[in-house]
Structure 1
Amino acid sequence: MINVLFIDLDGTILETKERHYKCYRDIIKSNGKPLNKDIYWQLKRKRVGLDIILKMSKYKYDEKNFLKEWSTKIENINWLKYDRLKPDIGKTLRYFTENDFKVILVTMRQNKANLIEELTRFNIIECFDKIVCCELREGSKYDMVKNIKYDDAFFIGDTEEDINTAKLLNIKSIAILNGLREKKFLQEANYFFYEVKDITVNKLI
């Protein structure tokens, strides 16, 4: 029997709020007025559109210009240094493995070399049986994993796409609430936990 645990990276395994905010602020500061970090993340978690955030930031250029600069910076090693592991992640990932789950990392990251370097630096790369990243600019998480075989599976993540991917795969989803989205945007998940480590405490897996 093949038991698979699909798990998202940013916001689920890694705390990435500092990197995202600093990258946003760096882009805005010369051509606008950056929002403070708390306000920025309140807007992001409420799913406020980038166009509105840029308008509130008095950004001089358009969304396309911002995204072009964002894509060149956000996965750069100099910015990845601001990421931190979520609480007890190494211990939790090993718990999943010890309970006979094949753990598959699924991320929209595009720079695989920098991804591998970061996972190695955090000493968690050996926790994954497979690493699936979006090396192309188009596609969805479902497209990335739809051909992976399993008998039973869960998908753990912090966004709507993670929940929708689970639905398309016809498996159960676990929403992490201390991530990118507020709970009201994740209502279709089967289970809710504040952090990944809380799953083991509740003996769900």
Structure 2
Amino acid sequence: MRIGVDLDGTLISCKEKHVCLMASLLKAYNIKINMDVFWALKRKGFSNIKALNFFNLDNEVLKKINNQWVDMVENLEWLNMDKPLDGVFEFLSDIRDSKSSLHLISARNNVGNALIQIKSLNLYKYFDTVSFINIKNNEKKSDIFFSIGIDVYIGDTEYDYVMCVESNVKSILVSTGMRDFDFCKRFNENTLDRLPIFDDIKCF
């Protein structure tokens, strides 16, 4: 079996990076909001701008802040906040022991920093292939699914689910990252609150 896996929110944390960077940018504009509410909104499917609009902030300021956030979020300063989620190394070892091939397929604009990150977190060695797509360049995960022949893909967003449907790949969503359990469940019955073990994958 060829198993594809997402990175952010699936294998590594993303809350700290997203929230701390946004709080830092808001502070520069003397804006203070409830960051727990901001993160909860994002987990319910809100974009940065839509979540910030919830606090009735100026639209032009929001656009500037969001553009800065996008430009900075993949800098190593912020990537260093990401940590492997609970059970990640057990999950990766379980897949490797099953004799399945394991493929990291994720969206990143700065591939160099992404590679530095996964090597520093001791994740790189587990994968048969590592692929990063740039959404700004209209690249899609489904193209990688086709080229590798992925059988099942594990991710944490509705985008991951749509890419699976588009390429006829079995989808499993985990609610450990960008979207909460209820949001994921609306898209995919195969939703878990943790990383699956290999036996889970076989059952879906």
The two structures share one fold, judged by TM-score above 0.5: yes
Seen in structure 2, the aligned counterparts of structure 1 residues 125 and 145 have a Cα distance that, compared at 3 Å, is same
Query: Which structure has more helix as a fraction of its residues?
Result: 2
2:197 to 192, 197, 200: 200
Seen in structure 2, the aligned counterparts of structure 1 residues 111 and 123 have a Cα distance that, compared at 3 Å, is same
1:31 to 24, 29, 32: 29
> How far did 1:136 drift?
5.9
Q: Write the distance in 2 (CA, Å) between the matches of 1:50 and 1:70.
A: 9
Alignment of 1:1-205 (within 5 A): 3-55=1-53, 56=55, 58=57, 61-135=60-134, 137-150=136-149, 153-186=151-184, 187-196=186-195, 199-200=196-197, 203-205=200-202
CA RMSD across the alignment: 2.2
SS state of the match for residue 147, structure 2? Answer: coil
Quick check: 1:104–1:129 contact (8 Å CA) kept in 2?
Answer: yes
Seen in structure 2, the aligned counterparts of structure 1 residues 146 and 40 have a Cα distance that, compared at 3 Å, is same
Letter in 2 for 1:108: A
1:116-150 Cα deviation digits (max 9, x unpaired): 11111111101111111124623253354143243
Seen in structure 2, the aligned counterparts of structure 1 residues 104 and 174 have a Cα distance that, compared at 3 Å, is same
Seen in structure 2, the aligned counterparts of structure 1 residues 49 and 135 have a Cα distance that, compared at 3 Å, is closer
Letter in 2 for 1:100: K
SS state of the match for residue 123, structure 1? Answer: coil
> How far did 1:63 drift?
4.2
Which runs of no fewer than 5 residues in structure 2 stay unpaired? Answer: none
Quick check: 2:175–2:181 contact (8 Å CA) kept in 1?
Answer: yes
1:96-128 Cα deviation digits (max 9, x unpaired): 122122211111111111111111111110111
Query: Which moves more between the two structures, 156-165 or 85-94?
Result: 85-94
Which runs of no fewer than 5 residues in structure 1 stay unpaired? Answer: none
* Number of residue equivalences: 200
Q: Write the distance in 2 (CA, Å) between the matches of 1:49 and 1:93.
A: 30
Report the identity percentage.
Answer: 23
1:19-45 Cα deviation digits (max 9, x unpaired): 110111111112142323311111111
Q: Write the distance in 2 (CA, Å) between the matches of 1:58 and 1:109.
A: 28
> How far did 1:65 drift?
1.9
Q: Write the distance in 1 (CA, Å) between the matches of 2:130 and 2:197.
A: 22
Quick check: 1:134–1:144 contact (8 Å CA) kept in 2?
Answer: no
